[in-house]
Structure 1
């Protein structure tokens, strides 16, 4: 693969995409057709901020947390490392310590969960809250996962969200890494400029370094 090629790791948004149980499903419809306007088609979308590939702003789980537009934009742009943790169903500091992570600012985890955007998983690999302080010590500022959440589906306390927040690590969820070789990349995963939002869809792409 040429280093100049960008690789899309985004779940495509469509009416078929899975959404968090009980949350707003994604919908796109043509509000006005070219025939109606005489010049253009005009579409409308409706969705949760956490559908498909998205970032969590701290306000999502902390009333005093930053909103999307409060987060430095360079959090989501720059060198990133993809590592494979698909051999385990529990991802903790001990598992992550088997990888060279010193100086890695953006870490993306390829787990055992298959990338099937149209199906919401019944069960996901578990992240241990001890990854928060471990990743901070190594300089990680953004953690990306190929799962809908860094916490279990049934969790109300969200211990991993809070452990990452307490260690100044932002969260990127539902990236697609099945086709990505572990290694060093350049990442762009920019959220929309949603001033008051608790999260945002992103278009996430990688390029080999």
Structure 2
């Protein structure tokens, strides 16, 4: 979370977890690692590193290619869904599936096209949670019916960690929604914000890291 630099600056919430060698990853996925290719010293004016990681480490956007063999890569996905008004809804401690009754209290009147759901009191940025909360497929169907373009969550997946059918991912595939996972919403009150979470233009990848932030509307 940052402090405004001037009286007119809108408040920002950084909702991205730290990314480093200890960042949790889905079992079997590629963890973050970094090597130094060059370091400042005699004959070298710069530090240059090389990193290896799954694009699903930390806050990230899934591409349709992640859950559809013929789906678009993240570099081919329109940026529209990842930038604009959003609503943060608390469903803390709910699960294992987030059903409509868990979020209905905040779905009233005009709903922004982006919805982020907080399920943790404190998001576990330092460990893998195999019991993560996920969206019920019907919840995503109903959000799509209301015009939602993007759904987000503070867990590693919108489906249960042990799911082999990925029912909620299949709903977003069929309905054309976008998704953000691994957000940190611990300090964010329920309400409406501006979401900024642009993926990299990775032309062959199934996902991309994002630096996700929320900005106050006024």
Instruction: State the TM-score, normalized to the length of structure 1.
Output: 0.94
**Match among 116, 119, 124 for residue 124 of structure 2:** 116
- Contact 1:132-1:166 at 8 Å conserved across structures: no
Within 5 A, what are the aligned runs for 1:20-169?
A: 20-35=26-41, 37-89=43-95, 90-100=97-107, 102-112=110-120, 114-169=122-177
Change (3 A) 1:37 1:107: farther
Change (3 A) 1:54 1:119: same
**Match among 177, 180, 197 for residue 189 of structure 1:** 197
Gaps of 5+ in 2: none
- Contact 2:93-2:121 at 8 Å conserved across structures: no
- Contact 1:68-1:195 at 8 Å conserved across structures: yes
**Match among 13, 17, 20 for residue 11 of structure 1:** 17
Specify the SS of the correspondent of 1:95: helix
- Contact 1:9-1:206 at 8 Å conserved across structures: yes
Q: Distance in 2 between matches of 1:158 and 1:8?
A: 28
- Contact 2:149-2:178 at 8 Å conserved across structures: yes
Tell me the CA shift for residue 115 of structure 1: 1.2
Tell me the CA shift for residue 37 of structure 1: 4.6
Moved over 4 A (4+): none
Deviations 1:149-169 (A, max 9, x none): 011111111001101221221
Q: Distance in 2 between matches of 1:185 and 1:113?
A: 20
Tell me the CA shift for residue 97 of structure 1: 2.7
Instruction: State the TM-score, normalized to the length of structure 2.
Output: 0.90
Deviations 1:19-52 (A, max 9, x none): 1111111012211111165210001110001111
- Contact 2:84-2:195 at 8 Å conserved across structures: yes
Number of matched residues? 209
